[in-house]
Amino acid sequence: EAGVVQSPRYKIIEKKQPVAFWCNPISGHNTLYWYRQNLGQGPELLIRYENEEAVDDSQLPKDRFSAERLKGVDSTLKIQPAELGDSAVYLCASSSSGGRGENYGYTFGSGTRLTVV
């Protein structure tokens, strides 16, 4: 079974440029998460989807970040315009078990390492 697939693995952009990340979750997982992980820190939730609905986007900086999950499968996360402080690893994860993952945990992708120069 394929895991959570993210692309690209690495991205270097100049500040003020746009950037987009893509995530393909595990087949059948109805819940999808985007996390941001700064160097030396734990992941921080940006947004959680239940199917195609964003049910928790309270930590998403909506002035520059946007996300979508069309048809409740793949998801994209966009930053426009990027700032130096956005440099981080962006992780996508998915889970089943009613969307809580409480018993089964999350399956994470390998992440996209973004460097803004």
Partner 1 sequence: TQLLEQSPQFLSIQEGENLTVYCNSSSVFSSLQWYRQEPGEGPVLLVTVVTGGEVKKLKRLTFQFGDARKDSSLHITAAQPGDTGLYLCAGWGYSTLTFGKGTMLLVSP
The binding site for partner 1 (CB under 8 A) comprises 4, 40-45, 48, 56, 91, 93, 100-111, 113
Alpha-carbon dihedral angle through residues 85, 86, 87, 89, given to the nearest 10 degrees: 140
Cis peptide bond N-terminal to 25, omega within 30: no
Q: Which of residues 81 and 96 has its CB atom nearest to partner 1 in the complex?
A: 96
Q: Which of residues 28 and 71 has its CB atom nearest to partner 1 in the complex?
A: 28
Q: Which of residues 64 and 113 has its CB atom nearest to partner 1 in the complex?
A: 113
Q: How far is the CB of 2 from partner 1 (least distance, A)?
A: 14
Q: Which residues pair with 3 in a beta bridge?
A: none
Q: How far is the CB of 48 from partner 1 (least distance, A)?
A: 7
Report the 3 state secondary structure along 33-68: EEEEECCCCCCEEEEEEECCEEEECCCCCCCCEEEE
Q: How far is the CB of 3 from partner 1 (least distance, A)?
A: 9
